[in-house]
Every structure is written in C-alpha cells, then in structure tokens.
C-alpha cells in the first residue's frame, strides 16, 4: 500500500497505525534518510543539505534504497510505503520492482489544504529516537519533550520550519501530485479527507479500504 499526501498530512501517523493493524512493515523513506543522517553514513551526508532545504533527493538514490528495502523478507507479505513514490519516475520504477505478482497496490491520498499544513507542521514534534509523532496542541507528549514510548528527546525536525515547509509543499504540487494522477488513471487511487482528529481519519481510511 502507498500513502500520498503533502508534508504534515498525517501519512506517517496513519501509516504507523495501519502497519500495526495489518502486521506489515511501515517503510518511510524520510525516516530512513533521517536514520542515515543520524548514523553519519555517506547517504546521510548526501541527503542532509537537500532535505534541510525542502527539496527532493535524487530518484536514483531513492529507487536504490527502496529496492533494497522491499527485497527484505519482512516486506514479502506486504508493506506500507510512506513518502515513496514522490515523482513519476519513482512510481514507474516501483511498478517494475513489485511486478504483477500478488495483490495490486492500494494507493491512498490524504487530502489536506496547504493553509492547514503550515499550521500543523510548525507545531509538529518528532521523537529523535523512535520517530513517534506528536503535535503540541492536539497530541502532546505526556511529559515535556520526552517521548511517551521510548523516553528519548522529542524535537522539531530540521525541515519542519516555515521556509522549508513552503518548499516541500511546492515540491509536492509539482512533483508528487502527478503521481496521484498516475494511479488514478489505473483506478487504484482512494482519496481520503485528512482533516480532523487522528482516530476519525483512521476510520475513514479503514472504510476506504473495505
């Protein structure tokens, strides 16, 4: 399954829940890149300045990462992709990676208008260790800056500032919306309203999958 949506639309939060519900891995390319940065790998060194600016990392690099990840045994029964594909080139390549075996991809697009995104993202906080996602008003950690799940520090992501968010939104409109059109043409796209409490959006997602 694939999640498409602008930054801050709730893809990560909802993908994590669905992954628990279906028992398949949640594969977030953004999380993978942030891990590479934290570990100081070559990939991390290449990706960090691009991400901080709100631009997209190259298709070649991303396709390589996802190909390796989907080849791991835990992804064999299924997977939830969050943040990939983000360009038409990536979507076309994904088709060749997954082939025609098994069930067809399900593609979910979370619809959230731009003005709501900027407000959401500037209040978003993320666990620096396990990636759990919080919102300072709607879903704050129980104890200030401490992750409820793992106790690590909860921080604002380097690219969760207004300037980078505007660039990320621009990249979404220009490069990722054509991906939604690509799947719509294949009758695989399910559009879900992403406005409202997390539980309500999750219910809508479950209904759209039924």
- Known catalytic residues? 11, 86, 124, 157, 168
Out of 18, 36, 57, 80, the only residue in the binding site for ligand AMP (CB under 6 A) is 57
46-54, 102-110, 182-190, 195-203 -> range binding ligand AMP (CB under 6 A): 46-54
Binding mask 149-178 for ligand AMP (x = CB under 6 A): ----------x--------x----------
18-26, 38-46, 53-61, 141-149 -> range binding ligand AMP (CB under 6 A): 53-61
DSSP percent split of the chain into helix, strand, coil, nearest 5: 50, 15, 35
The helix or strand, by DSSP H or E, that contains position 111, with its residue range, turns out to be: strand 107-111
Residue 51 lies near ligand AMP (rule: CB under 6 A): yes
The helix or strand, by DSSP H or E, that contains position 86, with its residue range, turns out to be: none
Residue 126 lies near ligand AMP (rule: CB under 6 A): no
Contact, 107 vs 187, CB < 8 A? Answer: no
Task: Please give the DSSP secondary-structure letter assigned to residue 130.
Answer: T
Provide, rounded to whole angstroms, the least separation between the CB of residue 140 and ligand AMP: 20
> How far is CA 209 from its chain centroid?
18
Out of 83, 91, 112, 183, the only residue in the binding site for ligand AMP (CB under 6 A) is 83
Per-residue tokens: 155: 């921080």
Residue 120 lies near ligand AMP (rule: CB under 6 A): no
Radius of gyration of the chain from its Cα atoms, rounded to whole angstroms: 16
Out of 9, 19, 29, 109, the only residue in the binding site for ligand AMP (CB under 6 A) is 29
Cβ-Cβ contacts under 8 Å for 13 (sequence gap 6 or more): 133, 198
* Residue 45 vs 207, nearer CB to ligand AMP: 45
Residue 81 lies near ligand AMP (rule: CB under 6 A): no
Following DSSP, what letter does each residue of 8-27 receive, concatenated?
Answer: TSSHHHHHHHHHHHHT--EE
* Residue 173 vs 207, nearer CB to ligand AMP: 173
> How far is CA 118 from its chain centroid?
16
Q: Can you give the binding site for ligand AMP, defined by CB under 6 A? A: 7, 29-30, 33, 50-51, 54-57, 62, 83-84, 86, 90, 159, 168
């Amino acid at each position: 399954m694939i999640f498409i949506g602008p930054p801050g639309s709730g893809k990560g939060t909802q993908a994590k829940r669905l992954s628990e519900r279906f028992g398949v891995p949640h594969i977030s390319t953004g999380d993978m890149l942030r891990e590479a940065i934290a570990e100081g790998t070559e990939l991390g060194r290449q990706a960090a300045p691009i991400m901080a600016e709100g631009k997209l990392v190259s298709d070649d690099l991303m396709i390589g990462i996802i190909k390796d990840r989907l080849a791991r045994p835990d992804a064999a029964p299924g997977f939830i992709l969050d943040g990939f594909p983000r360009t038409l080139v990536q979507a076309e390549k994904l088709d060749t990676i997954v082939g025609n075996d098994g069930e067809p991809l399900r593609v979910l697009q979370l619809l959230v208008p731009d003005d709501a995104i900027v407000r959401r993202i500037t209040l978003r906080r993320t666990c620096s260790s396990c990636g759990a996602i919080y919102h300072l008003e709607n879903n704050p950690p129980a104890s200030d800056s401490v992750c409820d799940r793992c106790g690590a520090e909860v921080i604002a992501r380097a690219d969760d500032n207004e300037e980078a968010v505007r660039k990320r939104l621009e990249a979404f409109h220009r490069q990722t919306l054509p991906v939604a059109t690509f799947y719509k043409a294949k009758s695989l796209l399910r559009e879900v309203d992403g406005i409202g409490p997390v539980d309500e959006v999750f219910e809508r997602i479950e209904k759209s999958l039924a």
